[in-house]
Amino acid sequence: MHIPGVFLIIALGASRANARTCTIKPLGHSQSDVSQIEAAIAACGYGGTTVLEAGEYNITRKMHWDLANSHVDLHGSLNFVFDLEHWMDPASTYRVIFIQSQASWFVVSGHDFTIDAHGTGGIVGNGQHWWSWYGNATRLDGDGRPVSLTLSHVARGTVRDFRVDGPPFWCNAVADSSDVLYDGMTCVSENADETWFGQNIVWNTDGIDTYRSDNITMLNWDITTGDDCLAIKGNSTNVFAKNVTCRGGTGIAFGSVGQYYQLPDYVDNVVLEDITFVRPDAQVQPLMEHGVYFKSWTGTRIGFPPTGGGAGGGRVSGVVARNVNLDQVTTPIQVYQTNLGHPGDKPSKLQFTNLTFTNWTGTAQTSTVVDLECSTAAPCTDLTFEQINIAVPGDQVAEFACVNVASVAGVACGGWVPFPHRLSFF
């Protein structure tokens, strides 16, 4: 068997007899590495081991890895060259993420695999070029900017100690997948172009969006972003995130949900544990907007996805957010059901229920520590707040705002309830 550029080694270890190993290293000399990577994955991606040695791999076109009973050691980085014209041509990306028809330049599918990037490997997204270019251009959901790492139709996959530097758009997405473990993920979207200092030009660099997926575990994440740290979207069930640091951006989002009027979104059983929100240097990243927030579209559909929509139903239930520390977060906890809405829209019918917030500490940057603006058509029910101890700026009075909340435990709710200087109850 002859595969150019791939060293095929028959491993003779007793435990993995006949398991193949393919080892490659960057070709260098201005050559594209995509063909040799595809050849290695084709040869060793089913039942074998693929080793990408340290260094930078030159990724010039879209890439799909289909893996089964397989292990990939990614010691080096996949450098997706900056070529806006190329990547923005719809033919240059995959469209496997249904919601908002998002584009992907790198898709992994399959079952029973591990991709281990050993803390040294991952993706170089060259995001700075994208962010600076889009600094004065319109950014729309689904406009074709590619997701960096997409897991699509995966069962029992693991991604370990992976790093994405400069994602142009979402850092990760997982869709139509189940039993996925991400252990160790770093995403860095940090503007260094002084033209844009003090402004957020890294919109849409979400740490991850989960969609139509079940049993997704995220351990040991460190996300620097200008948008959602994690975004739990429609039909995500049994999601567990632990030890996540979110630096900048808009916080951990549930949603947006309710964008597709004909497709209800159900989100159930999401546990967030040991979460830290850190407000970065305002010159680099001006936002640290929420801790955890929930957003649905209104009950009126205006236009169609990817950019328009609304009027979708469904339910977000069984959310627990515990052991959360906040560093000057604007609004720590928020629910709103008017995402991209207009005055006069019908109220959303999508319901938020059984949400529990336990052991929250740290500081808020404004007085409204909790802002629950639920829908008249679907009031929030079974909300529980316990061990909340969040300080607000010294000269202000902490507030807990509730609109259309049918049942809440832990606080008195029924209008704007002021607390002096901190929202604190046990």
Ligand X SMILES: *[C@@H]1O[C@H](CO)[C@@H](O)[C@H](O)[C@H]1NC(C)=O
**Which residues form the catalytic set?**
227
Which tokens go with 315? 């339910």
Does residue 212 touch ligand X according to CB under 6 A? yes
Options 199-207, 209-217, 290-298, 369-377: segment touching ligand X (CB under 6 A) = 209-217
Where residue 278 falls (left for φ over 0; alpha for ψ -120 to 50; beta otherwise) is beta
Contact with ligand X (CB under 6 A): which of 1, 18, 30, 415?
A: 30
Report helix, strand and coil shares of the chain as percent, to nearest 5. 10, 55, 35
Q: Could you tell me the smallest distance in angstroms from the CB atom of residue 293 to ligand X? A: 18
For residue 315, give the 3-state DSSP assignment. Answer: strand
Query: How many residues does this entry show for the chain?
Result: 426
Cβ closest to ligand X, residue 21 vs residue 354:
354
Q: Could you tell me the smallest distance in angstroms from the CB atom of residue 18 to ligand X? A: 26
Give CA–CA dist 165/188, Å, rounded.
5
Question: Site mask, ligand X, residues 389-418, x = CB under 6 A?
Answer: ------------------------------
Give CA–CA dist 323/215, Å, rounded.
21
Cβ closest to ligand X, residue 224 vs residue 354:
354
Does residue 85 touch ligand X according to CB under 6 A? no
Tell me the CA distances in angstroms from 87 to 61, 125, 136, 147, 415, one per residue in order. 8, 12, 19, 11, 49
Window 354 to 373, contacts with ligand X (CB under 6 A): 354, 359, 361
Give CA–CA dist 283/116, Å, rounded.
34
Cβ closest to ligand X, residue 50 vs residue 353:
353
Cβ contact 206:182 at 8 Å? no
Options 145-153, 210-218, 336-344, 366-374: segment touching ligand X (CB under 6 A) = 210-218
Does residue 55 touch ligand X according to CB under 6 A? no
Contact with ligand X (CB under 6 A): which of 302, 320, 377, 397?
A: 320
Task: Give the residue from 135, 148, 59 showing the smallest Cα distance to 106.
Answer: 148
Give CA–CA dist 357/308, Å, rounded.
31
Where residue 143 falls (left for φ over 0; alpha for ψ -120 to 50; beta otherwise) is alpha
Does residue 234 touch ligand X according to CB under 6 A? yes
Q: 216 - beta bridge partners?
A: 180, 239
Does residue 215 touch ligand X according to CB under 6 A? yes
Cβ closest to ligand X, residue 312 vs residue 347:
312
Does residue 112 touch ligand X according to CB under 6 A? no
Tell me the CA distances in angstroms from 162 to 124, 188, 199, one per residue in order. 11, 12, 28
Cβ closest to ligand X, residue 146 vs residue 291:
291
Q: Could you tell me the smallest distance in angstroms from the CB atom of residue 229 to ligand X? A: 12
Cβ contact 164:122 at 8 Å? yes
DSSP 394: T
Window 121 to 180, contacts with ligand X (CB under 6 A): 133, 136-137, 179
Contact with ligand X (CB under 6 A): which of 213, 325, 367, 375?
A: 325
Cβ closest to ligand X, residue 65 vs residue 80:
80
Window 180 to 199, contacts with ligand X (CB under 6 A): 181
Q: Could you tell me the smallest distance in angstroms from the CB atom of residue 158 to ligand X? A: 7
For residue 291, give the 3-state DSSP assignment. Answer: strand
Does residue 328 touch ligand X according to CB under 6 A? no
Does residue 266 touch ligand X according to CB under 6 A? yes
Q: Could you tell me the smallest distance in angstroms from the CB atom of residue 10 to ligand X? A: 30
| Binding footprint of ligand X, residue count (CB under 6 A) | 34
Tell me the CA distances in angstroms from 374 to 228, 297, 347, 366, 402, one per residue in order. 20, 11, 9, 21, 8
Binding positions for ligand X, rule: CB under 6 A: 30-32, 58, 60, 81, 133, 136-137, 179, 181, 212, 215, 217, 220-222, 234-235, 243, 245, 260, 263-266, 269, 318, 320, 323, 325, 354, 359, 361
